[in-house]
Chains A and B, each alone.
Chain A
Amino acid sequence: MTPSLPDILVGNFMCVAEAPPPESAGEFMAGRVAVVALLSLLAAQEAERGIAARVWENSAIRAALVEAASYGAGFAEAASEGDGDLSMTALDRVNAALRRALISLHEAVEAAGDTARDQAILRLYRDMAHARRLDMPPLPGR
């Protein structure tokens, strides 16, 4: 997924590492630091849940692909690769291939008018989005 957790954390450093020009040193920089703080808060969630969410999603997509054997052997084949070393980078690389296969499967399911499988895929989307969620804390408005 992009940006990745390392992207965000490296970015948080890059965002504040360089001294701003004088006209950007006040309100703009204060706003920037506040956003960096918020990103750090969300990054903590991703560090806690990100691996589990990816492992779960990859497994769920594999199951959907394997169950769709009637749509062609290619889908089960796409599901055959394992998750690798469980780093986020490895999981995301596998996830990209699995998601591409899922998109192809969904297109085929829609073309076939296979309502039951279509609805199963929509439920999978709901669960994928939920697993990847980032929860914003209740920040008070001004």
Chain B
Amino acid sequence: MTLADCLEAYLTRHFGSPTIVEGLSRIPGGASRETYRFDAVIDGVTRPLILRRDPTGSLIDTDRRLEYLAFQSFHGRAPVPEPIVLEGEGTELERPFFIMSRVDGGAAASPFTVQPYGAHAQAIGEAFFEVLGAIAATDTAGLPLTEAAEAPAPDACWRVALDHWAGVIDADEQHPQPIVRAAIRRLRRDPPPPASAVRVVHGDYRTGNFLHDGQGRILAILDWEMVHLGDPLEDLAWAIDPLWGHYDDARVAGMIPRDEALAIWSRTSGLPVDPRALAWWSLFNAVKGQAIWTSAAREYRDGGFRDPVLAISGWYTARRHDQILASQLMSLEGLS
């Protein structure tokens, strides 16, 4: 049976009505999940949907459930697609998967292009940091996400995050990386102040992980697979990391000036931006990035060199983040 046949059989059972799958097509983007678009025709009514299926022998169960719970938590609060169903066992499609509604008519920018938002960069930037501020403003009490995500104490957010990503580097490193090691030591020597609030952290909130309509409007925030509870400054610092700057030194995320972005975020989140804390989370995010690229390089090798997205991540972005890390370490010492 083809994937479309299996999906049709599953949806017929799930919806309790004969369902036809039309136009099933895998779409590019992300290496953490296989993503497919399709239409489900149920009793003559067409529903545009997205299938997100685990890759072969990869991510742990908790990640998938957390991502789904994040969609449940923010659908209706922010531009987030509606989650439809999560299958943790996934036997009918060979691997675990979930299905969500599809948002049509939008585009996601490649992070490695220049000026992807054109004349709408200002409008998109304002919306981008407003949405992030709104996520940071959300009281976590009662959110579906809290069924599975643990809340660290405000003064432990930094340590939990750093221990996790330093551990990833320890586990997956194939070649010694002195620059990121120096950054990890620096972060441990000089921790940030406690989080001003423990909130939902998207985990990968950046250019390229949202759909926009080409006219300055954000349609959907995507890729919640690294969602967790923690210090919301983690997301802010990741969003403005130079890696996601579209080679534009004057604007963050290739959108708006840095001061403006921070002001919008602070106003919408109701939280302060402590410069020392943001500097810590900025260096941390370059470490986190390097950890992700280190894992990508290992997965690229272990997977038989078949996924070029892992190659770009483990090679080009790893070297960019080494430059960013080295520059930040110099800057923190007052060197140029």
Instruction: Give the interface of A toward B (CB within 8 A).
Output: 1-3, 7-8, 10-12, 14-15, 18, 21-24, 26-28, 30-32, 35-36, 38-39, 42, 92, 95-96, 99-100, 102-103, 106-107, 110, 118-119, 121-123, 125-126, 128-130, 132-134, 136, 138-142
Partner of A23, one of B4, B117, B330: B4
Looking at B116, B307, B316, the one whose CB has the most chain A CB atoms below 10 A away is B316
- In the complex, the chain A residue whose C-beta lies closest to that of B214 is A142
Partner of A141, one of B4, B28, B115: B115
Contact with A along B170-197 (1 / 0, CB 8 A): 0000111111011001000100000000
Partner of B335, one of A8, A23, A122: A122
Q: Is A3 in contact with B308, judged by CB distance below 8 angstroms?
A: no
Indicate whether A142 sits within 8 Å of B306 (C-beta atoms), given known contacts A3-B315, A42-B315, A102-B178. no
Please, how many angstroms separate the alpha-carbon atoms of A21 and B113 in the complex? 29
Q: Sample 21 A-B pairs with CB under 8 A, ordered by A number.
A: A3-B311, A21-B3, A23-B4, A28-B25, A31-B28, A38-B312, A39-B311, A99-B177, A102-B178, A103-B178, A103-B181, A106-B181, A126-B327, A126-B330, A128-B179, A128-B322, A132-B322, A134-B316, A136-B112, A138-B247, A141-B118
**Chain A hits for B271, CB < 8 A:** none
Please, how many angstroms separate the alpha-carbon atoms of A122 and B36 in the complex? 45
Please, how many angstroms separate the alpha-carbon atoms of A52 and B82 in the complex? 52
Q: Is A142 in contact with B323, judged by CB distance below 8 angstroms?
A: no
Chain B nearest CB from A99 CB (Å) reads 4
Looking at B26, B36, B323, the one whose CB has the most chain A CB atoms below 10 A away is B26
Q: Is B315 in contact with A142, judged by CB distance below 8 angstroms?
A: no
Contact with A along B299-327 (1 / 0, CB 8 A): 01100111111011011100110110111
Q: Is B308 in contact with A2, judged by CB distance below 8 angstroms?
A: no
Please, how many angstroms separate the alpha-carbon atoms of A95 and B174 in the complex? 12
Q: Is A35 in contact with B246, judged by CB distance below 8 angstroms?
A: no
Contact with A along B11-24 (1 / 0, CB 8 A): 00000000000001
Q: Is B297 in contact with A39, judged by CB distance below 8 angstroms?
A: no
- In the complex, the chain A residue whose C-beta lies closest to that of B24 is A23
From 207 to 235 in chain B, residues with beta carbon under 8 angstroms from any chain A beta carbon are none
**Chain B hits for A22, CB < 8 A:** 2
- In the complex, the chain A residue whose C-beta lies closest to that of B179 is A125
**Chain B hits for A110, CB < 8 A:** 185, 189
- In the complex, the chain B residue whose C-beta lies closest to that of A97 is B176
Q: Is B109 in contact with A134, judged by CB distance below 8 angstroms?
A: no
**Chain A hits for B323, CB < 8 A:** 129-130, 133
**Chain A hits for B179, CB < 8 A:** 125, 128-129
Q: Is A142 in contact with B308, judged by CB distance below 8 angstroms?
A: no
Q: Is B300 in contact with A123, judged by CB distance below 8 angstroms?
A: no
Contact size class for B? 35 or more
Chain B nearest CB from A96 CB (Å) reads 6
A-B contact count (CB 8 A): 163
Q: Is A122 in contact with B28, judged by CB distance below 8 angstroms?
A: no
Indicate whether A99 sits within 8 Å of B176 (C-beta atoms), given known contacts A122-B326, A142-B116. yes
Please, how many angstroms separate the alpha-carbon atoms of A51 and B29 in the complex? 32
- In the complex, the chain B residue whose C-beta lies closest to that of A15 is B308
- In the complex, the chain B residue whose C-beta lies closest to that of A26 is B25
Indicate whether A39 sits within 8 Å of B300 (C-beta atoms), given known contacts A23-B36, A142-B116. no
Please, how many angstroms separate the alpha-carbon atoms of A32 and B31 in the complex? 12
B333 interface hit (Cβ, 8 Å) = yes
- In the complex, the chain A residue whose C-beta lies closest to that of B38 is A23
Indicate whether A27 sits within 8 Å of B185 (C-beta atoms), given known contacts A122-B326, A125-B326. no
Q: Is B305 in contact with A3, judged by CB distance below 8 angstroms?
A: yes
Looking at A2, A12, A26, the one whose CB has the most chain B CB atoms below 10 A away is A2
